Structure 1
């Protein structure tokens, strides 16, 4: 797996992380099979709320990687223009610290909580504040842990549903990998107006199966360049995905690799200052022909920089891109184009996860627990949730 023996994975405490990255196509298949049996019920719940109110907010929330799932998903759902529905992504950390900026009494709201464990204090706190602030408050809990507090708290709540990912998606490694993509797929399946559970899901799984085994040789070649900084760039929802990609490197390298993110256009406006001769830039290229022009512009500019190396991820083979990037990663091996950048995001992140895993091992970090001293933890610790009513 990833050009690593079972003994190497065991010795370097990377078994869980490697397996959880590699298993994603299989987990997606199991998830979609489960959703196929339940989607009508889930959508019926959502549609009943839409019919009941003239206006509905749908807030995707979570902390860290769980928040980035919503950030990546919302632009795609907004494009589908669902009449009286406004999709937003707001981190649970922001809701908890500043509830009056995000929760409004008179606007019916569905809070969609992304949660691997379902026990993060901010996630539970955000829901509690939703009940306090909003007159018509509904919940969709998308979680990998049926025993988590979020799922348990709504067991007898008619205004809430729980959507469970397969047990395999309940990542045991420190970094969220298969849990991230599985929760995004679950949410998209429920809220999209398109028929995802069908040919489109088969297409994305087929590409993921091929990608997860084909990228490792290129990644091993990339790692010959001893980078100390990495920048992820993208436009639109791929710019949002770049936040998660950078976090994976930061987490799995225990902060030894400086990792940041920015939009393709925004990078010139100051953040480009981070580049030095040991920098790697990864560009998530859009398949939208208009947006792609801006991605190509920054790719041309970066290639002219001295010392840095550039990786371009793109849907299909592209001679111009291959001539500009030091390495080019193709993610769609099928004849048909993928429907949108959201589908690319699911494939692009597999590359980012795998690169972070391999870099972690290269610099002597244990990926399953990159912070054994406890600076950061698999489920966040040390958070105090204050009672809003008592403070006020």
Structure 2
């Protein structure tokens, strides 16, 4: 990471279409007239400035699985993708289910991070779904997002208690919606014609939507905040839309870039790169997800960046570890399927990928407008550049990149976190 030297970016385009010069000093945007005389000047003509991206759903693997990813490599990939903050999921070793474990993750971020690292606390001890974790003690450390991601909080009483307990702390329960009776540990392919033909254990769409339907009603009943992680089905969209229309529950939802772009037929080669949980879905579900992201039913894009070693993926499809890389190509996918199709404008991208995830995570200094007085978190984009994705060039330690070989936008020119340039092409 470079030092936070003063900068002047000239000719920057903002999301409203206007052009301006931006000055950065002491970690904030300042009036150009107040820029120090020794400020470095960078010609940014034609580049678009967005607030630094925020990911509410990142797996950094450290501590416990450093052979797949570390905080240093994962956040370097995040900076390469335009992110200035990531929320680190708690499925680590040890699990982030105590205040001490949460503090350790935060300290790793301060020591090694190329962007801000915010720990997510587990909902239950060991993510086992049986007993609430140290929610209050973690909240006292500043944790505001809690999840057993990778495992569903399937017990209705435990979910009710978590939503109730976290309400005074303004915490949010982020649910991995997977009914274990309908989609057990071996489920790995959308239940349908493809799973039947390939002989893969089916993961029916209702295993997701029925959990969300229960949860949004519990959120309404308790008054707690609820967030549906990585929704992947049209039925889940319908439930979220219904809950928001009622207006009685604090409910938000996310979609991943891979569920916006990739479909079930990708698994027909048995390439375990395409094994993910929830699984890739047919085109009608993808269309519903795109529509819901456009109209605001789905609030944010979360990468679910899930690095794995080659050894973890080198197994039969139903045994291999689920998960895909996402931080470096997330913005590219959103550009390809949402911006280029006219479904989202750049203000919408800034909302879904920066402002809204920061708001849900209660990260007040991220997701802010690119304006004088605000923290200098931004990403500069060259909207015309495209490239063939090459997994060997990833900043991540892992190589399970589902976009390998695809021609996609490659927009990120510069990422700045708190006035420090963390990536520059």
**TM-score (norm. length: structure 1):** 0.30
The structure with the greater share of residues assigned to strand is 2
